[in-house]
Amino acid sequence: MYHNISSKFELSFRSVSSNLLKKHLKLLKNKGFNNITKLDLIKGGLFDNKKSVFITFDDAYEGVYYSALPVMEEFGFSAAVFIPAGYIGKFNEWDFTPFSRLRHMDKKMLINLSKNGWVVGAHGSTHTDLRKCSNGCLRREICDSKKKIEDIIGEEVFLFAYPFGLYNEKVIDMVKNCGYKYAFATANGITNNRYAISRMALYFIDASPIPLLNDKYCRLYLFRNRIISSLSALTPIYKKYINHLW
Ligand SMILES: [Zn+2]
């Protein structure tokens, strides 16, 4: 799981440079990892092959379109982006990136990605903690966002990623009811549960993702990522007091 990808240095914990992404992809290729495609997912084969990888970009920043798409194509990889339906073409309001503001992909970019074999998934509507939502709110965030993105890309939206990776049973039930095939958590996910798929986040500090491919180090990574994820609990404070300063 990545967030933003940028071709220049960006003071953001969630931005990975396109050079580093290239390094990661090269390593995956050299180690013989297969890329899971949109078709594999439609056929239900996410967990079929142990030596396969599915790359996702949360929040669908336009940096991914400009700086990740060309690199991914170079290595023959496709991926999924998760767009918060209420932020299509708008500036981000929750990631802390002083001196610059990240923008989310617009309709055209999402359509192009989808045509290029990428999967466009939903990521709620307002990027809120869904565990705190009423039934009506869950319906808007999970079902309405699906419909809105489907109307744009003209394809079924069947992947969902929980904002901040946060979910509970009630949230999962709504995801199922709205007709999604898979839903993604972060380090708090459960292996082999198609509605709370565990993902490993990569940050600019991950000069080499080799430990990720090694079971022994994987636990350490999970622990680190849990700590980083828990920092997102600070988002409401950031939104309220800091964000408007930039
Ligand atoms: Zn997000």
Q: Compute the distance from residue 98 Cα to the ligand 1 centre, in Å.
A: 18
Give the Cα separation of 49 and 52 in Å (integer).
Answer: 6
User: What's the angle, vertex CA 134, arms to CA 128 and CA 138, rounded to 5?
Assistant: 55
And the tokens for 162?
């929980």
Pairing of β 52-53 and β 55-58: unpaired
Helix, strand, coil share of the chain (percent; to 5): 45, 15, 40
pLDDT greater than 80 at residue 58: yes
pLDDT in tens, 71-119: 999 999 999 999 999 999 999 988 766 667 889 999 999 999 999 999 9
For 79, list phi and psi in degrees, rounded to 5.
Answer: -155, -175
Q: Compute the distance from residue 161 Cα to the ligand 1 centre, in Å.
A: 8
pLDDT in tens, 120-153: 999 999 999 999 999 999 999 999 999 999 999 9
Mean pLDDT over each residue of the chain, to the nearest integer: 87
Confidence of residue 242 (pLDDT cuts 50, 70, 90): low
Q: Compute the distance from residue 13 Cα to the ligand 1 centre, in Å.
A: 13
Domains of the chain as residue ranges with CATH: 4-245 (3.20.20.370)
pTM of the predicted structure, to 2 decimals: 0.89
For residue 91, give the 3-state DSSP assignment: strand
Give the Cα separation of 140 and 125 in Å (integer).
Answer: 7
